[in-house]
Structure 1
Amino acid sequence: MKRQTASEQVANHIGAMILSGELVGGEQLRQEALADRLGVSRIPIREALLILEASGLVVSRPHRGAVVAELTVEDAHDLFASRLIVEPALVERACELHDASEAATAVAAMKAYEDGIRDHAPEAELSRLNWELHLCLMKPSRMTRMLGFVETLLASADRYLRIQIRPAEAQEHALEDHRNLVEAFCLRLPERARDITAKHIMRAREETIIGLGKLKGPLAPRK
């Protein structure tokens, strides 16, 4: 198993602070303060911020350095448009290539997601279960480069999904879409799986835009 470097561990820690809302959109990330807070030198902090910038959680601003990326409607449209290009194609190919073990893994991921919804799991846990399921339905595509790209998209989309999945109605929509998608995947219906994936992403985009308009609290977009 690949061991995480110090920079990757620090990136995961800072990323969790961003996703939880402890570090909010637009907040400046001062390397010295983060190093003191996390008990590390500035070198892994600097490298961690580059990792987070690549994943879309951090952006560089002139005269300010690294800041937490803000949640915006424009960014949400960009993100979902990118997902629409990549994910349906990966799911379609994975639907054609998966083996029995990979189908069983997808079914298990679906069961875990259903349990999370039923047990009223926190948004962070629902987000994790959601991405785990999506990746189970794409990894059998064997398209390593595209999978690497989509994992970066999903990291950027995590804060948006936590907004989108809050309403009970959105959770019901997600359950319905996921069940239909896993069924098409297991039955090897690639065109149906592709279409369900596209419609699922478009519905999530609309729910996210609505959620951004209503949002209050630590994940709210700054005015």
Structure 2
Amino acid sequence: MTSSIKPIESRSVTEQVTNELRRSIVAGDLAPGSTFSLRSIADQLHVSFIPVREALRNLEGEGLVITRPGRSAQVTPLDLEDLRAIYRLRGNLEPALARESCLVITDAELDRLHEQAVEYGKTHHSIHTVFEAHHAFHAEILAPAATSWDLRVLNSVWRAAERYIRIGFGKQNPGENTRIKGEHERLIEVFRGRDPDAVAAAVLSHLKENEQSARLALVDEPRAVALEF
């Protein structure tokens, strides 16, 4: 059992336990395929058994854990077919939303997102810090065209994709912050052109490159070093 889960100092609500377990799974602190008892998690988080059980139900619904008979659970293993399904969903939804969003998102919002993208390139940020912020970037650039249900679905598949990417990346590549900065600056520039076809194509290309990088990491190819959520 890993010791990297951060203890929750006081009795926690289920949402807090869910968030901490999700963070540990997505970051790879709880390894894919690993099993653990609900009691051991409760002890590490300094909470009772009940919120852990409820949190695991939430995470099972997100595809991150598999609950087992008795009081144990397994972190869902990584799988090529699951990765393909994740990116099929993203490829159907994100380019379509981007086509609409580019016509209504304001210049001021694009300026703000550009500043956010520039921030990714600063070398004092760890790759994990960049991933945390860049989830919000993708939500915000699509938000003008997205419904609450779109965002619920996207949040679920983004978390699933991020787990593959962050675990596959392993340790930070010194040039990765600069690469991520450049990728997102280019997306902003395409959005500024207000051409729905060009925007949809750019988003789809972005997703295909990310999926390929994740696939290479999953089969342990040494080339898989340029990974991104």
State the TM-score, normalized to the length of structure 2.
Answer: 0.80
Q: Does 1:42 align with 2:20?
A: no
Matches within 5 A, 1:1-223: 6-61=13-68, 66-115=73-122, 119=123, 121-162=125-166, 163=168, 174-214=180-220
CA distance in 2, matches of 1:123, 1:171: 7
Task: List gaps (5 residues or longer) in structure 2.
Answer: 1-11, 223-229
What is the CA deviation profile of residues 56-88 of structure 1, one whole-angstrom value per residue up to 9, with x for unaligned ones?
Answer: 221235678531111122221111111111111
Q: How many residues align?
A: 209
Matched position secondary structure for 1:138: helix
Matched position secondary structure for 2:125: coil
Taking a change above 3 Å as real, the CA distance of residues 170 and 200 of structure 1, as seen in their structure-2 partners, is farther
Matched position secondary structure for 1:45: helix
Overall identity of the aligned pairs, in %: 27
Between 58-67 and 48-57, the greater mean CA deviation after superposition: 58-67
CA distance in 2, matches of 1:65, 1:19: 19
Q: With a CA cutoff of 8 Å and minimum separation of 6, indicate the structure with the bigger relative contact order.
A: 1
CA distance in 2, matches of 1:150, 1:131: 10
Task: List gaps (5 residues or longer) in structure 1.
Answer: 217-223
Structure 1 segments of 4+ aligned residues over 3 angstroms from their partners: 60-65, 164-177
Q: Does the aligned pair in 2 maintain the 1:109–1:132 contact within 8 Å?
A: no
RMSD: 2.6
CA distance in 1, matches of 2:207, 2:68: 30
Q: Does the aligned pair in 2 maintain the 1:31–1:42 contact within 8 Å?
A: yes
Matched position secondary structure for 1:56: coil
CA distance in 2, matches of 1:210, 1:167: 16
Matched position secondary structure for 2:34: coil
Taking a change above 3 Å as real, the CA distance of residues 107 and 186 of structure 1, as seen in their structure-2 partners, is same
CA distance in 2, matches of 1:6, 1:66: 20
